[in-house]
C-alpha cells in the first residue's frame, strides 16, 4: 500500500521539451530527479520483466547492479553474474587534470597506471613470489645402495599449491629463478668409512644439481645432508629430489630436524 501511495504522489514537471523534473518544478538538467519527502531505500530502480532488480540507486547515492543486495560500498558489481567486471580504458588527461586516485590502462604497453599528486605511476601487477616450505614425512627410510625419490612431503606453506603431493614434484607457477635448500637429519646410525650421500635435484628439461656428503671414517652418529642451489625455470617446468646413499646401513629420516624450502628470487 505504501508503494502505491508514493506512486500517486509522484510529481513530474515538464519545463520545456528538453527538461523533465521529477519531484521538482525547477529542473536543472535534461532529467532532474529529486528525493521526495517520503523516505524510501531506493531513489531510482530498474527491474526486468520478472521483477528482478537490474540497476538501483540507493537513497544515499550507492549504486548496485543485478544480484547485489544492501552492499555498503558506493558502487558494487558483485552480483554473481557472468560479466560482473569493470572495464578500464585509457585517457590523455594529465595526472593533474585527472586528479589523484584515477586508474587507466594503456593498451600499447599493456600496463595500468594510478594518478598521484606528482605523476601517473605504473601499478606493478607482478604476482606474489613463490614460497614453499615442507618437511619429509616421518619415518621415510633410504635403503643402502639405493636411490630414493621423495614424493611424500608434509607441506607447511605453499600458496600456489605448486608441490604435487602425489608425485613429489615442484611445478613453477610462472617463469623465474627458483632457489632451494634441503636439510635432512637421520636417526642415529652406523656409517661405514669412505661412503657418501648423493642428493640430486632434477628438472623436467634435464637440468641437474648434485650435492655430496661424504664420510672418510666409520662412525656412529646422526647423519645429516645439506644441499642448496637454484634453477631458472619456465612456467610449468618441474623439479624433484632424489637421494642415494651407500653408508652400509638403512637410514631413517627424523622429520622435526629436516626441512625443504623453495623461494622465487
Instruction: Give the N- to C-terminal CA distance of the chain in Å, as an integer.
Output: 66
From the options 3.90.25.10, 2.60.120.10, 2.60.120.40, 3.30.450.20, give the CATH code of 131-264. Answer: 2.60.120.40
Per domain, the residue ranges of the chain are 42-122, 131-264
* Res 46: pLDDT: 84
* Res 253: pLDDT: 96
Q: Which residue has the higher pLDDT, 38 or 107?
A: 107
Q: Which residue has the cell 630436524?
A: 257
- State mean pLDDT over 92-98: 91
**What is the biggest distance separating any 2 CA atoms in the chain, rounded to whole angstroms?**
105
CB half-sphere exposure, 235, CA atoms < 13 A: 4
Predicted confidence (pLDDT) at residue 9 exceeds the cutoff of 70: no
Calculate ∠ Cα 184-242-156, nearest 5°: 50
Map residue 191 onto helix, strand or coil.
Answer: strand
Q: Go through 83-118 and write b for each residue having 16 or more CB atoms within 10 A of its CB, e for each that does not.
A: eeeeeeeebeeebeebeeebebeeeeeeebbbbeee
Instruction: Return the DSSP state at 219.
Output: E
Mean pLDDT, the chain, rounded, equals 86
Q: Which residue has the higher pLDDT, 47 or 16?
A: 47
Q: How far apart are CA 244 and CA 196, in angstroms?
A: 8
Contacts of residue 25, defined as CB under 8 A and 6 or more positions apart, other chains included, come to 11, 13, 15
Grid cell digits, residue 57: 540507486
Amino acid at each position: 500500500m505504501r508503494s502505491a501511495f508514493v506512486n500517486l504522489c509522484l510529481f513530474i514537471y515538464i519545463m520545456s521539451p528538453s527538461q523533465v523534473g521529477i519531484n521538482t518544478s525547477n529542473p536543472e538538467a535534461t532529467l532532474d530527479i529529486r528525493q521526495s519527502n517520503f523516505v524510501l531505500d531506493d531513489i531510482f530502480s530498474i527491474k526486468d520483466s520478472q521483477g528482478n532488480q537490474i540497476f538501483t540507486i540507493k537513497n544515499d547515492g550507492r549504486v548496485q547492479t543485478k544480484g547485489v543486495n544492501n552492499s555498503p560500498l558506493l558502487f558494487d558489481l558483485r552480483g554473481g553474474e557472468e560479466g560482473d567486471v569493470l572495464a578500464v580504458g585509457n585517457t590523455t588527461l594529465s595526472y593533474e587534470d585527472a586528479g589523484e586516485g584515477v586508474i587507466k590502462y594503456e593498451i600499447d604497453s599493456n600496463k595500468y597506471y594510478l594518478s598521484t599528486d606528482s605523476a601517473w605511476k605504473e601499478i606493478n601487477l607482478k604476482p606474489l613470489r613463490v614460497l614453499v616450505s615442507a618437511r619429509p614425512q616421518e619415518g621415510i627410510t633410504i635403503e643402502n645402495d639405493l636411490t630414493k625419490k621423495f614424493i611424500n612431503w608434509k607441506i607447511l606453506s605453499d600458496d600456489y599449491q605448486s608441490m604435487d603431493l602425489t608425485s613429489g614434484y615442484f611445478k613453477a607457477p610462472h617463469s623465474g629463478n627458483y632457489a632451494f635448500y634441503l636439510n635432512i637429519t637421520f636417526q642415529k646410525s652406523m656409517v661405514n668409512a669412505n661412503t657418501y650421500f648423493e642428493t640430486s635435484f632434477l628438472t623436467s628439461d634435464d637440468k641437474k644439481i648434485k650435492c655430496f656428503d661424504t664420510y672418510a671414517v666409520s662412525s656412529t652418529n646422526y647423519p645429516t645432508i645439506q644441499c642448496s642451489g637454484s634453477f631458472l625455470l619456465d612456467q610449468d617446468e618441474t623439479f624433484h629430489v632424489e637421494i642415494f646413499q651407500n653408508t652400509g646401513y638403512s637410514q631413517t629420516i627424523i622429520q622435526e630436524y629436516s626441512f625443504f624450502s623453495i623461494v622465487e628470487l
